[in-house]
Amino acid sequence: MNFLIRHNLKFSRYSLPLFFFVSFLLWLYCFRGFFSGRLALIGDAVPYYNHIKFYVENIARGIYPLWDPSCSWGGGPNEFFLRRIGEFNPFFGLIVLLVKAGFSYTSAYFVFLAVYYFIGLLGFFKLAEHLFRETNVACLAYLLLMFSSWGTKLFDTYINLIFVPMVWFFYFVLAFSRKPERIFFLGLTFTLMIIVTTYLPFYFMTVLLTFFLCVVLFYFKDLKIVFSSWVVFFKRDKALMILCSLALLLALLPGVLLYTQGFQGEIVLPGRHFESALRNEMALDMKEIQVGGIIIPEILEGLFSNLHEMRLNRFYMPVFVYILFLIGALIKMNKRLIFLLTLFSCVLLIGLTDAAPAVQFLYKYIFYFKYFRNFNYFLWFVLLPVFILMCAEHLRLFLSNGLKDKKSQYRAVVLSAGLHMGLAVFLSRQENSLISSYWVVGLSFVLFTFLFLKKINFQHPSIPLILIGFVALQPLQVYQALERNADVVEYPYEYDRPYLNFVYFKGNNPEKLVMDWPIADESVARTRLKMYYGLNTIQFLLENIQGDIFEEYMRFKFIVYDHVAYMDDKNISLSKIEKAWAQNRNIAFVSSASVLLDEVGPVAGEGATARVMTKDTLEFQVIKFDMNSIKLKTNFSSRKFLVYNDNFHSGWQAFVDGKRVDIARANVAFKGLWLEPGERMVCFRYGTWGRYFLGYLLSAVFMGVLASLVVLWFRSRPCALKESAL
Decide if pLDDT at 625 tops 90.
yes
Whole-number Å distance between alpha carbons of 119 and 116: 5
Q: Is the pLDDT of residue 375 over 70?
A: yes
Q: Let me know: does 294 contact 379? Beta carbons within 8 Å.
A: yes
So what's the pLDDT on residue 302? 77
How far are the Cα atoms of 55, 199, 247, 705 from residue 701, in angstroms, in the given order?
A: 18, 19, 7, 6
What is the CA angle 236-196-714, rounded to 5? Answer: 50
> Which of 117-126, 145-154, 275-284 has maximum average pLDDT?
117-126
Q: Which of 489, 400, 426, 596 is nearest to 43 (CA)?
A: 489
If 0-12 CB within 10 Å is exposed, 13-18 middle and 19+ buried, where does residue 146 land? buried
Quick one: pLDDT at residue 55?
92
pLDDT, residue 139, reads 95
Taking 60 as the threshold, does the pLDDT of residue 423 lie above it?
yes
Section 86-113 average pLDDT: 91
Check residues 63 and 158 and name the one with the higher pLDDT. 63
Q: Considering only 275-284, 370-379, 562-571, which range has the smallest mean pLDDT?
A: 275-284
- Res 105 pLDDT > 60: yes
Q: What is the mean pLDDT of the chain?
A: 85
According to the model, what pLDDT value does residue 26 have?
A: 93
630 - beta bridge partners?
Answer: 625, 684
Residue 516: band (very low, low, confident or very high) from pLDDT cuts 50, 70, 90? low
Measured CA to CA, the distance from residue 672 to residue 95 in angstroms comes to 38
Q: Which residues contact 479 (CB under 8 A, 6 or more apart)?
A: 30, 31, 310
Query: Is the pLDDT assigned to residue 92 strictly greater than 70?
Result: yes
Whether 141 shows a pLDDT value over 90: the answer reads yes
Reply yes or no on whether the pLDDT at 51 is more than 60. yes
58-77 mean pLDDT:
89
pLDDT band at 527 (very low <50, low <70, confident <90, very high): low
What is the three-class DSSP state of 656? strand
217 within 8 A of 389, measured Cβ to Cβ: no
pLDDT bracket for residue 363 (50, 70, 90) = confident
Sign (positive or negative) of CA dihedral 262, 264, 269, 273: positive
Residues 247 and 705 sit within 8 Å (Cβ to Cβ): yes
pLDDT, residue 523, reads 45
Nearest partner of 443 among 280, 529, 354, 318, judged by Cα: 318
Mean pLDDT of all residues in 56-83:
89
- Predicted confidence band of residue 20 (pLDDT cuts 50, 70, 90): very high
What is d(CA 378, CA 31) in angstroms, rounded to the nearest whole number? 24
The residues facing 419 across adjacent strands are none
pLDDT tens digit sequence for 320-337:
999 999 988 888 889 999
Residue predicted with more confidence, 402 or 92: 92
Contacts of 217 (CB under 8 A, 6+ apart): 342
Q: Which whole number is the average pLDDT over 582-600?
A: 74
Most confident among 45-59, 111-125, 474-488 (mean pLDDT): 111-125
Q: Which tens digit of pLDDT belongs to each residue from 273-322?
A: 555 555 666 777 777 777 778 888 778 877 888 888 888 778 899 999 99
What confidence tens digit (pLDDT) does each residue in 627-656 have?
999 999 999 999 999 999 999 999 999 999
How many percent of the chain have pLDDT more than 70? 87
Side-chain-side CA neighbours of residue 610 (13 Å)? 29
Please give the DSSP secondary-structure letter assigned to residue 293.
Answer: -
Please compute, for residue 323, the number of CA atoms within 13 A of its CA located in the half-sphere on the CB side: 27
Q: What is the pLDDT of residues 679-721, one digit of tens each?
A: 999 999 998 899 999 999 999 999 999 999 999 888 876 554 4
Q: What is the mean pLDDT of residues 587-615?
A: 68
Tens of pLDDT, residue by residue over 538-566, are 988 988 888 888 888 999 999 999 989 88
Give the number of C-alpha atoms closer than 13 A to the C-alpha of residue 47, restricted to the C-beta side.
Answer: 14
**Residues 200, 311, 440: CA angle, nearest 5 degrees:** 110
Q: Would you state the pLDDT for residue 1? A: 38
Helix or strand (DSSP H, E) at 140: helix 135-146
State the Cα–Cα distance between residues 130 and 10, nearest whole angstrom: 24
Average pLDDT score over residue span 164-177: 95
Label residue 351 exposed, middle or buried (CB < 10 Å: 0-12, 13-18, 19+). buried
Q: Which long-range contacts (CB under 8 A, 24 or more apart) does 38-43 make?
A: 38/488, 38/489, 39/483, 39/486, 39/487, 39/488, 39/489, 40/486, 40/487, 40/488, 40/489, 41/155, 41/312, 42/155, 42/156, 42/312, 42/313
Higher pLDDT, 724 or 393: 393
